[in-house]
């Protein structure tokens, strides 16, 4: 009988230790900082709206290399080159791989000058000027 009580005590103690050492999720979700919108890849053959400037990636270059837009407008990069490229902004607002035939669009909500490049081909550079 004494052995059964000892085993029961050890079992209860073991269960209590396991439950006590198990991490529990926080009771409320943590605040998430505002992040820039996630760019969406889409086919390159869709027509662009008036508030979207087009940049073509061709022959390992951004064409045009400099784009001027109004605050709230977007730029869409279409990769018609034979290789994958990225649109990587020096300030970190966007870093997106664009495979051959793909596009990415980004809306600029703050005025300023945004320099960008291709991570795969650092000689490819461009600028978006937001008025």
Per-residue pLDDT tens digits for 95-113: 999 999 999 999 999 999 9
Alpha helices, H only, 62-110: none
Superfamily of domain 42-130: Cupredoxins -  blue copper proteins (2.60.40.420)
pLDDT at 47 over 70: no
pTM to 2 decimal places: 0.63
Tell me the DSSP string of 42-62.
EETTSPPPTTEEEEEEETTEE
The ranges assigned to domains in the chain are 42-130
């Amino acid at each position: 009988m004494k052995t059964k009580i000892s085993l029961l005590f050890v079992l209860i103690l073991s269960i209590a230790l396991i439950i006590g050492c198990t991490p529990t999720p926080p009771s409320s979700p943590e605040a998430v900082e505002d992040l820039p919108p996630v760019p969406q890849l889409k086919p390159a053959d869709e027509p662009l709206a008036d508030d979207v400037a087009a940049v073509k990636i061709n022959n390992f270059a951004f064409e045009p290399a400099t784009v001027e837009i109004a605050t709230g407008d977007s730029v869409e990069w279409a990769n018609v080159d034979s290789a994958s490229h990225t649109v990587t902004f020096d300030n970190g607002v966007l870093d997106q791989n664009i495979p051959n035939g793909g596009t990415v669009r980004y809306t600029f909500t703050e005025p300023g000058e945004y320099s960008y490049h291709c991570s795969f081909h650092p000689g490819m550079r461009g600028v978006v000027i937001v008025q």
